[in-house]
Amino acid sequence: MQKKEKIYTVSQLNREVKSYLEGNENFQELFLKGEMSGVNYYKSGHLYFTLKDKKAQVKCAAFNYKYKRIAEDLKEGDVIKLFGDVTLYEARGDYQVLVRHIEKENQMGALFEELEKNKREMAAAGYFDEKYKQKLPKVPQTIGIVTSGTGAAVRDIINTAKLRFPNINIYVYPAKVQGEGASQEIIKGIQTLDNIEEIDVIIAGRGGGSIEDLWCFNEKEVALAYFNAKKPIVSAVGHEIDFLLTDLVADLRASTPTHASEKVVPEKRKLQDEIENRERYMKTILLKYLDRKKHDLIRRQESYGLKGYLKNIRERNVEVTDREEALDRAFGYYLAKKKQEMDVMQERLSGVDPTKIMQMGYSITTYKGKAVKDSSEIPVEGEIETVFSVGRVKSIVKEKM
């Protein structure tokens, strides 16, 4: 069976090739070494060149090269090592390398290789995951700052914070932020401020500089100090290049120290306006609620049911009184009838009262406490007792007849 042919448009083909290149991790975040050719710095802020060796060449582009701290003196014939990603420019069908960083031969290649290795390992271990990011407090009372004690960064953070919230408290841990020993001082500063109970959030960083100046914020030990902080921490390094390692593990990344202060410290005036607006809103809602209840009460007062309520009560009182009187009459009749019945029964009982019969001359004889009805119940010489209407006697039976 003949295979059905698939016909691509040129656009479809280029799009699929671009997707393949950008989706293949072997072509992303790679280092490439070669000789520069056709170097062009454009006024738009982009740098274009070709990188070649003895057998081949590839087109390269560094967009916004100034923000990537790429040197502005690169020239034809320079041997460089670049860090970037392979892609395809669909419109012309040219495959090219999008450049993130350039270094001249034998400068910082080993450091970048180590950085990319750390990024991959830490990403795989979850250090960059959103689930570990702490939320910043809405209204911090006290902030801590780890930065140079004499640079512009600390002044920018403090001035911005005080302008936005004049009575905020600020702790500053002055630390070296570049050069030998900087990493240890930054780590110590974060740990120290993290253990001060009243501090709500920490800002750690510095102003701008070359990638060499900023490199301590790319070191794994410093990044781990950011990650392990119990309090929310903001990475505030003045740069616009790809994220530093500390940017990736911090709870929030700010592009500059001033920006960090703006992110952390709310404007007091805006908070007060917000509270006042909410208060007005709540008052409006409450007044509307009370107004509805008032109209509802008036409506109920004017309703037929409520107006006739007292009348209904009076009518019910009269009805209850009538029923009580009727009940009294019925109960009196019932008592009189029962009394009459008892009188008749009493009269009947009095007719069979033994005491009255005895008053007519009759008596009762008992033997051993029992009334005697037959003389055979009494033995000769037995003692009997005779009860008269007045008095009683005991006798001994001498003879039975």
pLDDT of residue 357: 65
- β 94-104/57-62 pair status: parallel
Q: Is residue 127, in this structure, part of any structural domain at all?
A: no
Task: Judge if 50 and 19 occupy the same domain.
Answer: yes
- CATH code, 251: 3.40.50.960
Answer yes or no: do 158 and 245 share one domain. Answer: yes
Q: Minimal CA–CA distance to 136: which of 31, 240, 231?
A: 231
292 is in which domain, residue-wise?
A: 270-307
Which of the residue ranges 4-18, 110-124, 126-140, 292-306 would you say has the lowest mean pLDDT?
Answer: 292-306
Residue 401 lies in a domain: no
Mean pLDDT, rounded, of the chain = 86
Per the structure, the count of domains in the chain is 4
98 pLDDT exceeds 90?
Answer: yes
pLDDT on residue 317: 76
My answer on whether 62 and 148 are in the same domain is no
**Who wins on pLDDT, 400 or 160?**
160
CATH number at residue 49: 2.40.50.140
What are the pLDDT digits (tens) for 356-388?
666 666 677 888 878 777 777 888 887 888 777
Specify the pLDDT at position 388: 75
Residues 260 and 148 in one domain: yes
The pTM of this model reads 0.51
Residues 200-227 have a mean pLDDT of 92
Cα torsion through 89, 91, 93, 98, rounded to 10: -10
pLDDT, mean of residues 12-37? 91
Look at residue 368 in the predicted model and tell me its pLDDT. 82
Distance CA 210, CA 68 (A): 10
Both 255 and 285 in one domain: the answer is no
